[in-house]
Amino acid sequence: MRRRYNRYTLPSWLKQIREVGVQIIVPLSVFQAVRTVIFPTSFDVLLLAILIGLALALHYEWI
């Protein structure tokens, strides 16, 4: 049987890692967006899409 994910029962060190990730992902996404505008490659566009998806997932607490 699969255990349900509950972010309130996570260890404190894991909660802290998640909070740091939320704070880092937005500036990293902005930097990647600027880089994608200046040097548009397929890798940059893919990385930007992944970063935006991760930022949305962390913001809406999907993960």
Kindly report the pTM of this predicted structure: 0.75
Specify if 20 maps to a domain.
yes
Specify if 4 maps to a domain.
no
CA-to-CA separations, 14 to 2, 7, 31, 44, 45, in angstroms, rounded: 20, 9, 26, 29, 30
Report the number of distinct structural domains present in the chain: 1
- d(C-alpha 37, C-alpha 44), whole Å: 9
Specify if 6 maps to a domain.
no
- The domain of 55 spans 11-59
Specify if 49 maps to a domain.
yes
Please report, in tens digits, the pLDDT of each residue of the chain (63 residues total): 566 667 677 788 888 888 888 899 999 999 999 999 998 999 999 999 999 999 998 888 777
